[in-house]
Amino acid sequence: MGHKFSVFGIFRMILGYFVFAAGIVLTIHANIGLAPWDVFHQGLANLLGITIGQASILAGAFIVTVDFFAGERIGWGTLGNMLFIGLFIDFLMLNQLIPEQQVFWAGVLQVMAGLFVIGIGTFLYMSVGLGSGPRDGLMVALVKKTNRPVLLIRGTVESLALLLGWILGGTVGLGTLIMAVLVGPMVQLAFRVVGFDVKAVRHSFIDEDLKMLRQRVKSS
């Protein structure tokens, strides 16, 4: 388990979740349309009478279950991502800590800022090496199962989330298109600014940590 479970590592990971959630709320409060997954979260929230954060947690829990049965390894950070980002989204939205835009161009600028902030948040929690988010795991699992390109799988999954969310009453607008097109480049820009190489991160997973813990117990 090692240094990844240091106080600094845990603090950095949770800070990353908070920053990531702030980026999401920036895009939501831009009021020009939601990102594909957030369209689904909002639609699910409308259907069940819950908050967007709670819908995010519920969807994340379902996806983690699918990842597990699809053979994807789960990290402690995956579970943290599932829980804390939703909690932080609700905290920021319910306390109105991020402004809502009423002017279209201000909304566009806020979306761009939100996507960059999402990139910084991703760097903070992913660089700790305790696993990626549930939705990333789902895409990896589907790529392995179907042997199709990541771009095709990601586009298909997000399109289905968008369509289902729209059917459930989620908000779709020009911002939805902007985010679908620019989320990759903006997150990559954030990674370049902080000098983060995703490929250099070696993640540890829950099964590894439990095995190591059992070995330590046996040897003690």
Residue-wise pLDDT for 182-210, tens only, equals: 988 898 899 999 998 877 888 888 988 88
Residue-wise pLDDT for 95-121, tens only, equals: 999 999 999 999 999 999 999 999 999
pTM to 2 decimal places: 0.92
Q: Which residues does 67 contact at the CB level (< 8 Å), separation at least 6?
A: 74, 78, 134, 137, 138, 141
Which is higher by pLDDT, 18 or 133?
A: 18
Contact 34, 171 (CB under 8 A): yes
Per-residue pLDDT for 141 more than 50?
yes
Task: Please state, in angstroms and rounded to a whole number, the distance separating the CA atoms of residues 71 and 54.
Answer: 26
Contact 155, 142 (CB under 8 A): no
